[in-house]
Amino acid sequence: MVGRPASRLKFSDVFAAEWTLEETEASGARSGGTPRRALAAAAIAAVFCVAASVALWGFTVDDALITCRYAHNIASGHGYTFNPGSPATDGVTPLGLPYLLAPFARSSALSALAAAKVMGIVAHMLAAGFVVYAVARTTTKRSAFAGCVAWLVSAPAVAWSASGLETPIAECLVAAGASLRLLGKREPLGIVLLGLAAGMRPELMPLAATLGAPHPNDGTTPRVGAPTFARLGIVVAPFLVVAIVRVVLFGRPAPLSAVAKPADVTLGLMYAGACLLLAGAVGLVAPWALRRADRFTRWLVAAFVVHAAAVAFAGGDWMPVSRLFVPALPVLALAVAGVAEHARPVWTWVRCVLALAGVAQAWSSVGEKLVRVQGDREAVIEQMRGPLAESRVIAALDIGWLGAVAPDATIVDPAGVTDPEIAVLPGGHLRKKIPDGLLKARGTDTIVLQLFKEYPVADPWTESTFARGIEIYVAKEPGLGDAFEPAFVSTGRLRYLVVKRRAAGALPQP
């Protein structure tokens, strides 16, 4: 650190902000607006976020209800498990999140989902407030808010804020940590928040390490020493603690989803490329302005690029609207603001318009579908309550909504996200090679299969056109058509076929 011999280094130096006037000028330090104006801008952004998120309240994904079923089982006294009476399984990526939802899950998994959605909207609102305040305090250029505009109106940010998953919470942690580091205030808290984000979502570890290790205001040549390693250690600590706890409790450092969904780098590259186009990364295409930008802006850019590489290496994601990029969008907004400090406003807004074109394309292609997702799920849940009321062991790919329908039933997960035995089987997430006889060995009395679009149920039912590869594979199991018979077909946008074991082939109590 500046002005202190290495032999007298103290722990407080890890977060010290001792830098001279020359270093301030070299780092391109910014002067911004007053705290009052910054708070006003943050409040406007927060109100907009709440309004946009509430408008998209109808969006969710099946995995959100998986977490909520864990929470319901905790609240019901069954413990950290997906199936009542079964051993604990590591079916939730953010370890321990169901405990946060458990107080709201006493009545059902759906009540936990409502609470999770409210938490997500609040987290997204806080994320917007942190970032907009930081931008307003570090610049007086209106064009510096271009990245914030593109982020806050994007389909990924708005949709996932009300999804019921942990995505907006991770987004808030990253936003707060990066903003505190940029402002040079409460450095220890900022670094801890970045570490917590990485502990919640493993693919955020490279981004958190990139933002947590360097000193944000150091304009001199970077030096790798004790302060850097100390900051890096704080960032990595939550990630390592979670991995160790998983090894102790479940025998592996990664969640079951990482085992059940093996990474495909080719698909990951395609996913990351599409997300970069839709997330507004064009706002960083300003090489001359980036060369003149302060050092921490370049760290922000590096962190976003590193995150894109990490997501590609992880194989991307099967969920819609760029979920894995949402926690990195606050970093992108801060980086665009830093670049705008050294770019002509007209070119910054041109890049913003191009970014908004990608945003508009995303809204036009999936916007209408996003709004009705939860309504479609709730319609299926209501239709299925009667047909599944007496089922004891149910096999289905979409286990989230099914868990809400049959909270006391044992659910066999052919994708392996909540089942350690199935997770290690060969095949991708939707193409697991389920061994013949596995469903019978589990005592399965009911199977729920999604039909492809408007295709009718064939005769025999095993020849029907199903939506996913694993469902086709399961239906082709020898003897399954003789052992199970159609019992119900749901109506609406989501059509599921329920087949039940024939009376002659009934199994004993599992």
The DSSP string of 332-391 is: HHHHHHHHHTTS-HHHHHHHHHHHHHHHHHHHHHHHHHHHHHHHHHHHHHHHHTTTTTT-
Reported as a single tens digit per residue, the pLDDT across 251-280 is 999 999 999 888 888 989 999 998 888 888
State which fold the 385-505 domain adopts. Answer: D-Maltodextrin-Binding Protein; domain 2 (3.40.190)
Rounded Cα distance, 177 and 198, in Å? 11
Reported as a single tens digit per residue, the pLDDT across 2-23 is 333 333 334 334 344 333 333 3
pLDDT value, residue 262: 82
pLDDT value, residue 14: 39
Of residues 156 and 17, which shows the higher confidence score?
A: 156
Of residues 466 and 432, which shows the higher confidence score?
A: 466
* Contact predicate 449/497, CB 8 Å: yes
Rounded Cα distance, 268 and 308, in Å? 9
pLDDT value, residue 222: 52
pLDDT value, residue 216: 54
Give the residue-averaged pLDDT of 465-491: 92
pLDDT value, residue 5: 38
Q: Is the pLDDT of residue 320 over 90?
A: no
pLDDT class of 215 with cuts at 50, 70, 90: low
Rounded Cα distance, 405 and 110, in Å? 10
Closest by Cα among 129, 123, 127 to 100: 123
pLDDT value, residue 433: 83
Rounded Cα distance, 117 and 123, in Å? 10
Q: What is the side-by-side order of every strand in the sheet holding 446-450?
A: 410-412, 393-396, 446-450, 496-501, 484-489
Closest by Cα among 176, 393, 178 to 307: 178
Closest by Cα among 134, 125, 126, 234 to 189: 234
Reported as a single tens digit per residue, the pLDDT across 60-113 is 999 999 999 999 999 999 999 999 999 999 999 999 999 999 999 999 999 999
Q: Is the pLDDT of residue 29 over 90?
A: no
| Residue 333, both tokens | 């907004």
Within 10 angstroms of residue 510's Cβ, the number of other Cβ atoms is 11
* Strand 496-501 with 446-450, pairing: antiparallel
Q: Is the pLDDT of residue 122 over 80?
A: yes
Rounded Cα distance, 80 and 73, in Å? 7
Domain(s) of CATH 3.40.190: residues in the chain:
385-505
pLDDT value, residue 33: 75
Phi, psi of 466, deg, nearest 5 = -100, 165
Give the residue-averaged pLDDT of 450-478: 92
Closest by Cα among 136, 165, 180, 112 to 46: 136
* Contact predicate 75/106, CB 8 Å: yes
pLDDT value, residue 367: 86
Reported as a single tens digit per residue, the pLDDT across 169-192 is 999 999 999 999 999 888 889 999
pLDDT value, residue 308: 95
pLDDT class of 217 with cuts at 50, 70, 90: low
Peptide bond into 460 cis (omega under 30): yes
Closest by Cα among 464, 489, 459, 487 to 475: 464
* Contact predicate 493/467, CB 8 Å: no
Q: Which range scores top for mean pLDDT: 12-26, 295-309, 419-433? A: 295-309
* Contact predicate 325/279, CB 8 Å: yes
pLDDT value, residue 224: 63
- Contacts of residue 449, Cβ cutoff 8 Å, sequence gap at least 6: 396, 397, 464, 466, 471, 474, 475, 496, 497, 499
Reported as a single tens digit per residue, the pLDDT across 329-338 is 999 999 999 9
Q: Is the pLDDT of residue 1 over 60?
A: no
Phi, psi of 443, deg, nearest 5 = 75, 30
pLDDT class of 444 with cuts at 50, 70, 90: very high
Reported as a single tens digit per residue, the pLDDT across 398-428 is 999 999 999 999 999 999 999 999 999 887 7
Reported as a single tens digit per residue, the pLDDT across 478-487 is 999 999 999 9
pLDDT value, residue 25: 36
Give the residue-averaged pLDDT of 455-473: 92
